[in-house]
Amino acid sequence: MFIQTESTPNPATMKFLPGRTVLPEGTLEMRNREEARKSPLAERLFEVPGVSGVFFGSDFITVTKNAGEWQQLKPAILGAIMEHFMSGAPLLAEDAAQGGDDEFFDAADSETVATIKELIETRVRPAVANDGGDITFRGYKDGIVFLSMKGACSGCPSSTATLRHGIQNLLRHFVPDVVEVRPV
């Protein structure tokens, strides 16, 4: 098994590509050992000293560190990923609920929200996934779009610029009612 690694715009996060499907649907972020109980692989990764976050995408895993250097952490992380996939163990524990985040918006804005979601799905999420993260719609109120940033995007130094200049400008262009984009 060959696992590729890629740096991300967030220096505390690295993307690991195992060359196979990781999570068939959606994404899953675990920010601590308690949340990592949802996945045997995440539990293994949190055993590596310095690991502070794990994010599963469709065909990648991003790992966030709070201590140590990637040069020292990478071998242990690669070993944990390889052991997991070679063992044939499931990615998620049987009782793991992936539960989506609750959305909020006024029913009168449902057409606007549908357009916003479509733009995020087709234009934003694919680009953000390339960087090892995910951005999902959480809500819309008074012209403000609320987005949840996960994986490499969470805590990334360039995430504010991505939100303000990239996503906000895109949404304003196609949806004139949008006045601002904010992270949740």
Considering the domain 104-183 in this protein, what is its CATH number? Answer: 3.30.300.130
Residue 144 CB neighbour total at 10 angstroms = 12
Top CATH class of 4-87 equals: alpha beta
> What are the tens digits of pLDDT across the range 105-122?
898 999 999 999 999 888
Q: Give percent of the chain with pLDDT exceeding 70.
A: 93
Domain ranges of the chain: 4-87, 104-183
What is the predicted pLDDT for the residue at 155?
Answer: 67
> What are the tens digits of pLDDT across the range 68-80?
999 999 999 999 9
Phi, psi torsion values for 136, nearest 5 degrees: -125, 150
51-56 β-sheet, strand order? 4-7, 13-17, 61-65, 51-56, 28-30
